[in-house]
A and B are shown apart, each in its own frame.
Chain A
Amino acid sequence: MTNTPRVSSEWVERGRRGDRGAIEAIVREVYPLVRNVCRGMLNNEADAEDATQNALINVVRNIERFDGRSSFTTWVYRIATNAAIDEGRRRGRRRSRIVHDESEVVDEVGTTAQNRVDDADQLGSLLRQLPDEFRVAVVLRDVMDLDYDEIARILGVPGGTVRSRIARGRTRLAELVGNQTDDNERHTPHA
């Protein structure tokens, strides 16, 4: 696993007691993780920044209640994914319009440029079109590089469900890419 923040248990304990220095250190340390989750989920810098700040505010507000039943990092991931999903829903109406507009642009270039499917930004844009439950699983696996067990702990679902959501999310994403590249020789049934 990569991108794991180095948050010591001492920091967490001090943070739970309200130690401002420890809380500040935690906020700074987990920021990249939270931001990357939100960017992966939202693929829009402004929305991702809003979601990131909301997630960090939730970390600060609720750290006193962190009970240690999961690892602190798992807890932060959970908060980050929830904040990103909430932000996405809040901006849903605007997002629908943006996705629609961007799809039109992608249509224009995608049909003639197979190599564009590898472009991370384009993939991120397509990823945003997946349902929340598939998107979050794919982001945690393919963007954050977490293993199945960790994703299961974050989402609070069995490992088999995680495997299934990742596979189906990737399949949907491949379909979307295929739709952009005239390489859509088959269709996998939607969930």
Chain B
Amino acid sequence: MQRPIKLLIVDDETRFATTIASRLRLRGLDVRTAGNGVDALELAAREPFDLALIDLKMPGLDGGQVLAQLKVDHPHLEAIILTGHGTLESVVELSKSGAFTCLPKPVELDKLLVTLQQAYVVRLKKVFAADPAMIDRIEGIACGDNPRVILDSLRQLDDGDR
């Protein structure tokens, strides 16, 4: 069951999306990019994603709307919102509609990796909520301090069916 963690990046700044996607691929993630909300939802309908990285301000469907729809379609998907504003009121609103957290643009890659790892832990805990032994194992692995190592270990727990 060796399967990479699948990440969906949604941003109308396509150059930003493709570059950060390349960097995350180098770090072992399976990344897809979408230039707008509609493309993102289509992509998510075709293949399951574990995590999503969504830009807040986009023409057409904005980040909040994309997030809400993704959470409806894929309850176990954890999404991180990227915003150039750095204002807090949108953060509160977005966590209500199911965002794992908000990160300001530009974001340091290490910080992004830690956040992705935390989001993935949350996702796994939800997936295995009925399995206390599994939760313990997840928590044990999550105690480490290298997010890439943790992510690598964790993904082996995920059976990828959910």
A and B interact physically: no
The residues of A with any CB-CB pair to B shorter than 8 Å are none
